[in-house]
Structures are given as structure tokens and as C-alpha cells.
A and B are shown apart, each in its own frame.
Chain A
């Protein structure tokens, strides 16, 4: 199951990040790149694929609202 919205990393233990999506928390594996606590990321298939700059998070959330164009 994939969540399309950016989630916030709340902890990293070895290469496993715990990511907060507001309504729920998920774990995902960091396989490449430098990620820190409080970074917003996109996860696909339990792998962290990209970082989302904080300034872009709101635009992501607006775009992914139900019934978007």
C-alpha cells in the first residue's frame, strides 16, 4: 500500500525511518541518500524514494485533495 502524500520522518534507526502521516505512522527503508529527522519524504513500496522540500509540502497536499483536477 502506498501513500502519495509527503510524510515527516520522526525517527531513523539504522536504515529504517518511521514516518508520520498525521493519521498514521509507517516504516520505510532508506536505501540511498541522506535523510534526517523532520525531513518530508515520498515513499513507494516501503522505500523512501525522494525528499520533498518543506516549502513544497503544502502544494503537494493541496494537489492531492479529493476531487482535484
Chain B
């Protein structure tokens, strides 16, 4: 998958927060949503401008891995492994964030336990469930493992990944 498309799938669910702060217009929000759903590749410049906070953090990962900020491995490492630590440690604007917001901001991995036309019910940690929209992931079945971010399922992942994440 192109890094631009992969990045947007993970970043898009928090763009409603950016919209709420009036940093982007309704039409920019709509473009992000449509592009995330339909796997449309947006320009790097546009994504870097809107999600400048994420790229400040991605640059640190890129430096650690000695790779470019648009390297897919760098972007995966950021969203899958480092993003939650940053939130947990209360860095950046997360210092003032209430627990319920931090929990939505985190990227969880979980199992799809129910499915309907528009949403999935995902069990992510023992006895924690969240309904999430299924528009960003294709061909998800009951029993599959997915990552979730805010109210969206983002990516289908292998069960072995889930085991690594929650031993």
C-alpha cells in the first residue's frame, strides 16, 4: 500500500478533532474522508500541512530508524508502536486530555465480534467493546482482528500480531 494511503487511514479518524478546532474546512474534511474510504492518494504536501503534529513525531521515528518520514516502515512504527506511548506519557497536547479522549485517540487492536452493514463491534482488551465504522477497511469478517482509532476500524491485521501486542 502507498504510504500516503496508509498514513491517511490511520490519521483520518482524528481529523474531526482538527475540524472541531477550525484548522480545516468542511470541504477539506470531506476530501480527507472520501480519500481515506476510497484509497485515494493525496499529495504529501497536503497531508503534511494538515497533520503537522503527527509528522513532528514521525520525524523522530524516521531519525531513529534512519529512514525517510514517508517510508512505510516508519509510518507503521509510529502508529502501531509509538503513538499510544506518546498519549500515555501525556506528551504534547495530551497532557490536558481527559482519560476518555486519550482512550479514543489510542490505536487499539481487537477482534470483530459482530458485524452489520455500517459498523463492526470490536472487543479490544478484555471486556472492552466499541462500535466502529467499517468504511475504511475492506472485506472484514466476524473473528478477524483489526486496529481501531476513534470510531473507525483502520486495518485488518493477522491474529499473530494481536498475540504480540497483548501477551
* Interfacial residues, chain A to chain B (CB-CB below 8 A): 1-5, 31-33, 42-45, 47-53, 56, 59-60, 62-69
Whether the pair B21, A67 counts as a contact (CB closer than 8 A) is yes
* Interfacial residues, chain B to chain A (CB-CB below 8 A): 13, 16-17, 19-22, 26, 92-93, 96-101, 103-104, 116, 118-119, 121, 129-133, 135, 150-152
User: What's the Cα separation between A52 and B103 when bound, in Å?
Assistant: 11
Choose one: B98, B118, B121; the contact of A59 (CB below 8 Å).
Answer: B98
Choose one: A47, A53, A64; the contact of B151 (CB below 8 Å).
Answer: A47
Supposing A4-B19, A45-B118 touch, asked if A52 and B100 sit within 8 A by C-beta, the answer is yes
Residues of A within 8 A of B19 (CB): 2, 4
Residues of A within 8 A of B101 (CB): 52, 56, 59-60, 63
Q: List 13 interface pairs A-B (beta carbons < 8 Å), by A numbering.
A: A31-B121, A42-B104, A42-B151, A44-B151, A45-B133, A47-B131, A48-B131, A53-B98, A56-B99, A56-B100, A59-B98, A63-B101, A64-B21
User: What's the Cα separation between A8 and B131 when bound, in Å?
Assistant: 19
Whether the pair B17, A49 counts as a contact (CB closer than 8 A) is no
Whether the pair A49, B93 counts as a contact (CB closer than 8 A) is no
What is the minimal beta-carbon distance from B138 to any residue of chain A, in angstroms? Answer: 17
User: What's the Cα separation between A19 and B132 when bound, in Å?
Assistant: 19
What is the minimal beta-carbon distance from A23 to any residue of chain B, in angstroms? Answer: 12
Choose one: A1, A48, A53, A62; the contact of B96 (CB below 8 Å).
Answer: A62
The 7 A-B residue pairs whose C-beta atoms are closest, nearest first, are: A44-B151, A56-B98, A4-B20, A2-B16, A59-B98, A49-B151, A69-B93
User: What's the Cα separation between A53 and B132 when bound, in Å?
Assistant: 20
User: What's the Cα separation between A43 and B150 when bound, in Å?
Assistant: 10
User: What's the Cα separation between A3 and B151 when bound, in Å?
Assistant: 12
User: What's the Cα separation between A28 and B115 when bound, in Å?
Assistant: 18
User: What's the Cα separation between A5 and B22 when bound, in Å?
Assistant: 13
User: What's the Cα separation between A64 and B19 when bound, in Å?
Assistant: 9
What is the minimal beta-carbon distance from B92 to any residue of chain A, in angstroms? Answer: 7
Whether the pair B99, A49 counts as a contact (CB closer than 8 A) is no
Residues of B within 8 A of A5 (CB): 20
